[in-house]
Amino acid sequence: MSLAQYLSENQDQFQADLFRLLEIPSVSTDPARKGEVARCAEEVKRQMLQAGLEQVQVFETPGHPVVYGQWLGAVDAPTVLVYGHYDVQPEDPVDLWTSPPFTPTIRDGKVYARGATDDKGQFIAHVKAVQALMKSEGQLPVNVKFVIEGEEEIGSRNLAPFLESHRELLAADVLVVSDSAMFAPGQPSIVYGLRGLAYVEVEVFGADSDLHSGVFGGAVPNPGFELAKIISQLKDEQGRITVPGFYDKVVDLTAQERSDYARLPFDAEEFRKELNVPGLSGEAGYTPLEHRSGRPTLEVNGIGRLRFLQERGPMTDQLRGMQQPALGIALATRLQDLFAMQLPSRPHRFQIVLTELKIALSLTMRGHRQLGGGPIADFQVSGHQEHLQAGLHIEGMMTF
């Protein structure tokens, strides 16, 4: 039986297996669901075995387990390590879902479920691609190893130590990250670079007690205004980020990359309309598409607990962006400087808390080329309408 024939004849089974994964609420952030996360790891193991992978094992960690499987029957061929994760984001607010998040439902040819495109749909496409090749041709053209973790949504805490202690088992020539997307239906993509993440939380406090704006307003600096002024100075008029050293290690796009970007089917005006925003932003001299994946950014990720009257509470800001942990510190210093410039007499207490530093997947794979294999397109990740286009799944497997 040919590969294409196997793929088309087994679509129902592939879909049933995908649904079995999607039905398990493997929400890693929720301690009450630790058992569900473990159950999902077992289901991943079952499907790896079914695909013909060998040495399939569920490795316990201090947190959620890592599932491993391999097939090393290709002599003198390179070894491809596929990364993915079987944990999902919480489904809240659950009433915003049209169909229940853990009851996969097909509407308009799309599978709606939590985890459909982050990342159960993707990594299982890779597993099924192995299955299809094994069942139709009896072998693979390359050696493969799979590492499917259960803690991506909580910062992959135990992945680095796991990789460190299983160096030999995981040795590979190429790494494929399944947690990415196709550019568009019919347009497979190879993602060879990812933006990392550095994250700081800023707290601004005003006076020691709550102040009535009608009595104190105008005479006392307002924390909301002070923070807004600082944020507005983090980028200049040209859209350049003003954190010293921010661009030092940024590898600029080559002429070839820029012309490749330009050839992709992307319409900035369509994109703007789809998002319903009045205009697009960004660093002068770069296109929106280049901004989205080829350039670093700095973003305000949330402003919370704003209480200026009656109720005391800090104002919290989360700024996201950048690719080096050192830049998280540079950003914190920049914020500190701006604040000091603004209020030399320091009537406010100002704190910067570095809450999270996360470097996307590059931390443990030094020396390996990173490829994000994109088997999925037309998706919405992690929102309350997470979905994946059903037919594309097969296309994704073919691509792999």
Stretch that binds Zn ion, among 111-119, 232-240, 243-251, 296-304 (CB under 5 A): 111-119
Taking CB under 5 A as the rule, which mask of x and - marks residues 295-324 in contact with Zn ion? Answer: ------------------------------
Task: Give least dist CB 351 to Zn ion, A.
Answer: 31
Stretch that binds Zn ion, among 166-174, 178-186, 191-199, 243-251 (CB under 5 A): 178-186
Any residues with CB less than 8 A from the CB of 129 and at least 6 apart, and which? Answer: 375, 396, 397, 398, 400
Stretch that binds Zn ion, among 23-31, 113-121, 128-136, 255-263 (CB under 5 A): 113-121
CA end-to-end span of the chain = 19
Task: Give least dist CB 23 to Zn ion, A.
Answer: 18
Q: 50 vs 385, which CB is nearer to Zn ion?
A: 385
How crowded is residue 390: how many other Cβ atoms within 10 Å of its Cβ?
Answer: 18
Q: Counting contacts by CB under 5 A, is residue 151 touching Zn ion?
A: no
Task: Give least dist CB 178 to Zn ion, A.
Answer: 9
Number of residues that bind Zn ion (CB under 5 A): 3
Q: In what order do the strands lie in the sheet containing 54-59?
A: 54-59, 66-71, 143-149, 79-85, 174-177, 369-373, 190-191
Q: Counting contacts by CB under 5 A, is residue 119 touching Zn ion?
A: yes
Task: Give least dist CB 86 to Zn ion, A.
Answer: 10
Q: Is 283 a catalytic residue?
A: no
Any residues with CB less than 8 A from the CB of 275 and at least 6 apart, and which? Answer: none
Q: Counting contacts by CB under 5 A, is residue 395 touching Zn ion?
A: no
Question: Which token pair is 29?
Answer: 């952030």
Stretch that binds Zn ion, among 53-61, 172-180, 243-251, 282-290 (CB under 5 A): 172-180
Q: 87 vs 395, which CB is nearer to Zn ion?
A: 87
Identify the active-site residue in 151, 152, 179, 201: 152
Q: Say if strands 174-177 and 79-85 run parallel, antiparallel, or are unpaired.
A: parallel
Alpha-carbon separation of residue 298 from 39, 105, 167, 284, 327 (angstroms): 38, 36, 34, 15, 11
How crowded is residue 148: how many other Cβ atoms within 10 Å of its Cβ?
Answer: 30
Q: Is the dihedral of CA 317, 319, 320, 325 positive or negative?
A: negative
Determine the 3-state secondary structure of 388 from DSSP.
strand
Q: Is 87 a catalytic residue?
A: yes
H/E stretch holding 36 reads: helix 34-51
Place of tokens 């319903």: 276
Q: Among 149, 179, 201, 317, which residue interacts with Zn ion (rule: CB under 5 A)?
A: 179
Q: What does the alpha-carbon distance between residue 114 and residue 102 come to, in Å, rounded to a whole number?
A: 6
Question: Which token pair is 95?
Answer: 């009433």
Identify the active-site residue in 36, 87, 179, 317: 87
Q: 119 vs 201, which CB is nearer to Zn ion?
A: 119
Stretch that binds Zn ion, among 116-124, 167-175, 232-240, 391-399 (CB under 5 A): 116-124
Q: 179 vs 317, which CB is nearer to Zn ion?
A: 179
Question: Which token pair is 28?
Answer: 């890693």
Active-site residues, by number, are 87, 152
Residues that bind Zn ion (CB under 5 A): 118-119, 179
